[in-house]
Amino acid sequence: MDSVGVAVCVVMPPRYGVIGPILRANTIAKDWTTLPIDWTAFGVDLHLEVGTGRGTGAGRRAALERALRDAIRSGRLAPRAKLPSTRSLAEELGLARGTVNAAYDQLIAEGYLQAHTGSGTRVAGLASAPSSATQHPVDDERPRYDLRPGTPDVTSFPASAWVRSLRRALAAAPASIHGYGDPRGRVELRRALAEYLGRARGVRTDPDRIVVVSGYVQALALLTTVLTDTDTDTDWRHRAHAAIAMEDPGLAFHHDVVRHHRADVVPLPVDDRGARTDLLPDLAFRNVRAVVVTPAHQYPMGVTMQPDRRHAATAWAVAREGFVIEDDYDGEFRYDRQPVGALQGTAPDRVIYIGTASKTLAPAVRLAWMVLPDSLVDAVVDAKRYTDMFTESIGQLTLADLIAGHATSDPAGCDIDGAAICSLPGSARIRCTASPPVCTHSSRCPPTDPASRTSCATRRRTVSPLVISAVTG
């Protein structure tokens, strides 16, 4: 087996602009069975393995051809990339110049390389198919009208308002915003949420009891982990097969999330009065640690939980030392009556409130929040820390600014004489046009003609500032 010199090429940065590669070579003995070529010396980050079983010139030429051909096919040598001259490459590799010339000529004949007088040899522009690693699936053709339930209208996302809030938030934020964050979430957002939830949803909380998460699914997963942890020394968790009761019918994926985190799901029937929380004391629910309900607007039945069922849920939680998980996914949206207050306000030590921006803004925002009883805060924060450490911070600051910018004592309602309250920024305006009042987007505020003013009912109506942002953005 022949031994030849192998050039180990090192790129030397040019002192005055780009004047071509400057080579410094050290020669070492190397067997031709595996000859690496360090292409960085020629301005290309490429490592070629040139291997052949024979040390003849023909074998070396074939090995060089094969290595270059593979590099071009795989994309490691990009189209129009310039190759070194045959003289330079031959000197650095310790090959005869004729061997390199023959390899170049063969690849030019095959269409892999192009040679032009005065511009050297370059890789030809091949129309090769992309590798499977770079292929992206093509979205299926979407219908013109998407009427799937539970899917928000993302075209109404308040992009302009979001960008303004983002700029204000970043301008005022300390440099630490770009570092690791608090597992509970940014205090700015938790303060804004505590004020907003108390005003708009009747939630009783303070910022220390709020944990910001990356969507409702993460909130449900964390609570399942914490509430069914068999290592905790309580009577409930000594029981085998700790379970979560969930509405039936309900969103099947949420049931799967609970099962994925090793908890049983016990179906809780739903009728025209809401979830049958009056059944929770039955023997079938003896291992249930928590019940997940949607009091404001049940999916998919669309009913609101009646007062006796709400009372039954909190009474069961108190008597059995369990917890009610209140999914308030779209509690801000009401078009036919006053919004129903959150169940959490009636039993803050036994009801876990979960809200989300997925319906009021967009699912891509990936922000949701839990209002927890004091007894669960530390355990949930620990679970959050070991799940993803913390939820991204910049979006939290943006949402906090967005809420603060739209927060008023009566964001969009009719006063007692029927005039609309015009408190929104920019040109967006709200006025009442029906009885019972329905706040709609309008360019005139307040209505000046007597007929419009008379048509507004005197009953006050409040719309969430988040909903307003989705309408007026």
pLDDT confidence of residue 231: 56
Average confidence (pLDDT) over 41-57:
54
CATH of the domain at 94: 1.10.10.10
Q: Which of 123, 143, 169 is the last residue of a domain?
A: 123
Same domain for 280 and 340:
yes
Query: Which of these three, 358, 381, 406, is where a domain ends?
Result: 406
Closest CA to 298 of 277, 324, 327: 327
Answer yes or no: do 281 and 187 share one domain.
yes
Q: What is the pLDDT of residue 2?
A: 45
Range of the domain at 197: 154-406
Give the CATH number for residue 178.
3.40.640.10
- Is the pLDDT score of 130 beyond 90? no
The confidence band for 311, taking pLDDT boundaries of 50, 70 and 90, is very high
> What digits encode the pLDDT tens for the residues 89-122?
888 777 888 888 999 999 999 999 998 887 789 8
How large is the average pLDDT for residues 448-470?
39
Q: Please report the pLDDT score of residue 256 as a whole number.
A: 96
Looking at every residue in the chain, the average pLDDT score rounds to 76
- Residue 331 in any domain: the answer is yes
Q: Has residue 149 been placed in a domain?
A: no
Cβ proximity of 433 and 412 under 8 Å: no
Are 268 and 364 in the same domain? Answer: yes
131 lies in a domain? no
pLDDT of residue 76: 83
What's the total number of domains in the chain?
3
Name the residue with higher pLDDT: 372 or 38. 372
Identify whether 144 is part of a domain.
no
Residues 198 and 245 placed together within one structural domain of the fold? yes
User: Which of the two residues, 79 and 19, has the higher pLDDT score?
Assistant: 79
Residues 376 and 463 in one domain: no
- Global model pTM greater than 0.85: no
Most confident stretch, 68-77, 395-404, 440-449: 395-404
pLDDT reported for residue 148: 79
Do 373 and 414 reside in the same domain of the chain?
no
Average pLDDT over residues 250-259: 94
Report if residue 205 sits inside a domain: yes
Query: Looking at residues 398-413, what average pLDDT do you find?
Result: 68
Phi then psi dihedrals of residue 348, to 5 deg: -65, -20
**Would you tell me how many other CB atoms lie within 10 Å of the CB of residue 320?**
16
85 and 172 assigned to the same domain: no
